[in-house]
Amino acid sequence: MSKKTIVVCDHIHEAGLKILEKTEDINYVFAADVDKVKLLDIIKDADVAITRSSTDVDEKFLNAAVNLKAIIRAGVGYDNVDIEGCSKRGIIAMNVPTANTIAAVELTMAHMLSCMRKFPYAHNQLKIDRVWKREDWYGNELYGKKLGVIGFGNIGHRVALRAKAFEMDVITYDPYIPSTKATDLGITYTTNFDDILACDIITIHTPKNKETIDMISFDEIQKMKDGVVLINCARGGLYNEEALVENLKNGKIAMAGIDVFKKEPATSHPLLDLPNVTVTAHLGANTKESQKEISIQSANNAIESARGISYPNALNLPIDESKIPSFVKPYIELTQKMAFLLAQISKSEIRAIEVSAEGELSEYVDSLQTFASVGVLSVSSGSSVNYVSANFIAKEKGIELSTKALTNSSGYKNKVTIKITTSKGVKSISGTVFGEDVQRVVDLDGFKIDVDPKGKMIIMKNKDIPGVVGKVGNILGENGINISDFRLSRGKEGTAFAVILIDEKANSKVISELDNLEASIAVAYAEI
């Protein structure tokens, strides 16, 4: 078994490092303490790299990383990653956008409360100056104030919900979401940006791109209420900093809560000299919980990328993400994982791949086809398959690709189904996403199941007779394999189906023993 090399270029939480260390088919290289010049020599052997803000993924880096297939930016921001350069070289660039969600949400609320009650200044007067002057610190309440939320993604909508708990009047602007995502939560949705500018408090939660840089500048601030409060715990440069300074000085802006700056570190920034600003040093992700989660997700995503299973949160996808709603994105990852799983079970010549979708998802079924192709072909073609090459490779192999948009008949709000036609017949798998990102396989070859598409698993079809579960448990136990979960489904005509999640890899001997059981119809091992 050839090992894939993952190089960790910057410091991440030890929880992620332990995952990499324990993964048998991964050669893990820790290079966080290596000089960045020396790193260029190390990175040449990497299949996947994990970076943070300390490593610039620029032309020098990419030219040195001659074997690189994927790069994980361990965090939300990717300002230091040359996305276009990655795309030109066929490198998939990814980030970890949700691991620090709660941390960023709570820091936003901390800045909002601090601005309204001038908390840091009242604290410093007593704690540092030892002055007790209550009359200096008459603040304002959040209750009854109108909050404008720019961007209603993972962070923005959670800020809005917490603001609702303070009994604020909340309105959001986000042209890339369906209005119902906000209105279903009791939050006003607007397509008129001036509605946001009329709010008492404004907070921004958008990515940093050409559309959003200087989104709030001199003209926008002039339309705002006198005494407005502005919060930015997203990305530096979304608010024009010169406009902020001028309007904080003249009082148009009463207070600003700022965690991010256009250029960091910002130790001599003019905002730091003003008496009506609360500032933190880009601490949005700085909780122990979020750093651990970022590390775990980065490690798992790097392993999946190295194996060619999936590329979670890819930034250079073959589709324009701005044109698809956020609910579609977890289905992209789910589709690729399910296709990878189904191909492992099939283990025969593939002749056709069909992707169908139900619900609102059906509008985007053509976009899902590429990801299904990557998942299926990764089993046989490995890392040579990516989002650019997948459909071309499929056609070269004579594999027929097709899609279907179906009416919603399954009872699920949205569902994606993949059918693979092989020389031995047809196999199918279906999945859905609960909530925002809880992925589940709900059907496998006509058997209803509920399985998280992750980990080591044995898939078994058998005659529905007494004693099968016990015999399976005995075989696995005798081979030192621990069962972590056992999902059963009963079909028609006396058949049953099981997805057995296990802690250790099942070798060919174990699969053979299970297949030789009298009740066994078919047994396969798969790993995602």
CATH number of the domain bearing residue 413: 3.30.1330.90
Do 322 and 431 belong together in one domain? yes
pLDDT band at 239 (very low <50, low <70, confident <90, very high): very high
**pLDDT value, residue 321:** 61
> Is 235 a known active-site residue?
yes
**pLDDT value, residue 53:** 84
pLDDT above 70 (res 388): no
Do 221 and 74 belong together in one domain? no
Are the C-beta atoms of residues 298 and 309 closer than 8 Å to each other? no
| Selection from 51, 52, 45 nearest residue 68 by Cα | 45
Do 106 and 206 belong together in one domain? yes
Q: Three-state DSSP class for 27?
A: strand
Do 308 and 439 belong together in one domain? no
Q: Give CA–CA dist 69/47, Å, rounded.
A: 5
Q: What CATH number corresponds to the domain at position 179?
A: 3.40.50.720
Q: Give CA–CA dist 58/75, Å, rounded.
A: 17
Are the C-beta atoms of residues 4 and 48 closer than 8 Å to each other? yes
Evaluated on CA atoms 204, 208, 209, 210, the torsion sign reads positive
**pLDDT value, residue 80:** 87
As a whole number, mean pLDDT of residues 79-108 equals 89
Domain range enclosing 494: 455-528
Do 332 and 382 belong together in one domain? yes
Q: Which DSSP symbol is given to 90?
A: T
**pLDDT value, residue 397:** 77
Q: Single out the catalytic residue among 282, 304, 333, 358.
A: 282
Half-sphere exposure of 264 (CA within 13 A, CB side): 17
Do 262 and 136 belong together in one domain? yes
**pLDDT value, residue 75:** 87
**pLDDT value, residue 87:** 78
**pLDDT value, residue 517:** 93
**pLDDT value, residue 407:** 82
Whether a cis peptide bond, with omega within 30° of 0, leads into 265 is: yes
| Selection from 297, 309, 340, 295 nearest residue 4 by Cα | 309
Helices marked H in 130-217: 154-165, 180-183, 193-197
Q: Give CA–CA dist 516/478, Å, rounded.
A: 15
To which H or E segment does residue 342 belong? helix 329-346
Q: Give CA–CA dist 462/368, Å, rounded.
A: 32
**pLDDT tens digits, one per residue of 260-300:** 999 989 999 999 999 999 999 999 989 999 999 999 999 99
**Who has greater pLDDT, 390 or 70?**
70
Q: Name the β-bridge partners of 290.
A: none
Do 170 and 147 belong together in one domain? yes
Q: Which residues contact 251 (CB under 8 A, 6 or more apart)?
A: 226, 227
Q: Which amino acid is at 27?
A: N
Q: Which residues contact 468 (CB under 8 A, 6 or more apart)?
A: 462, 496, 517, 519
- Integer distance in angstroms from the first to the last C-alpha of the chain? 17
**pLDDT value, residue 403:** 94
Strands of the 456-463 sheet, one edge to the other: 483-490, 495-502, 456-463, 520-527
pLDDT above 90 (res 383): no
Q: Give CA–CA dist 30/12, Å, rounded.
A: 10
Are the C-beta atoms of residues 502 and 482 closer than 8 Å to each other? yes
**pLDDT tens digits, one per residue of 118-136:** 999 999 999 999 999 999 9
C-beta atoms surrounding 456 within 10 Å: 17
Phi-psi region of 284 (alpha: psi -120 to 50; beta: other; left: phi over 0): alpha
Are the C-beta atoms of residues 289 and 102 closer than 8 Å to each other? yes
Are the C-beta atoms of residues 358 and 443 closer than 8 Å to each other? no
> Is 282 a known active-site residue?
yes
Do 106 and 253 belong together in one domain? yes
To which H or E segment does residue 404 belong? strand 400-406
pLDDT above 60 (res 384): no
Q: Which DSSP symbol is given to 268?
A: T
Q: Single out the catalytic residue among 14, 84, 211, 264.
A: 264
Distance set, CA 510 to CA 399, 473, 479, 484, 517 (Å): 32, 11, 7, 17, 11
**pLDDT value, residue 381:** 60
Least confident of 193-202, 312-321, 397-406, 482-491: 312-321
C-beta atoms surrounding 334 within 10 Å: 23
How many domains, the chain?
4
Report yes or no on whether pTM surpasses 0.85.
no
pLDDT band at 437 (very low <50, low <70, confident <90, very high): confident
Do 68 and 204 belong together in one domain? no
| β pairing state of 201-204 and 146-150 | parallel
The domain boundary residue, chosen from 266, 293, 314? 314
Helices marked H in 265-319: 288-307
Mean confidence (pLDDT) of the chain: 91
pLDDT above 60 (res 159): yes
Q: Single out the catalytic residue among 13, 111, 157, 235.
A: 235
**pLDDT value, residue 378:** 79
Q: Give CA–CA dist 351/346, Å, rounded.
A: 12
Do 15 and 66 belong together in one domain? yes
**pLDDT tens digits, one per residue of 440-481:** 999 999 899 999 998 999 999 999 999 999 999 999 999 999
Do 267 and 204 belong together in one domain? yes
Least confident of 46-55, 194-203, 320-329: 320-329
**Who has greater pLDDT, 315 or 216?**
216
Q: Give CA–CA dist 215/419, Å, rounded.
A: 45
The domain boundary residue, chosen from 453, 474, 500? 453
pLDDT band at 198 (very low <50, low <70, confident <90, very high): very high
**pLDDT value, residue 280:** 97
DSSP string, 474-502: HHHHHTT--EEEEEEEE-STTEEEEEEEE
Q: What CATH number corresponds to the domain at position 501?
A: 3.30.70.260
The domain boundary residue, chosen from 428, 453, 478? 453
pLDDT band at 322 (very low <50, low <70, confident <90, very high): low
Do 462 and 446 belong together in one domain? no
pLDDT above 60 (res 382): no
| β pairing state of 70-73 and 92-95 | parallel
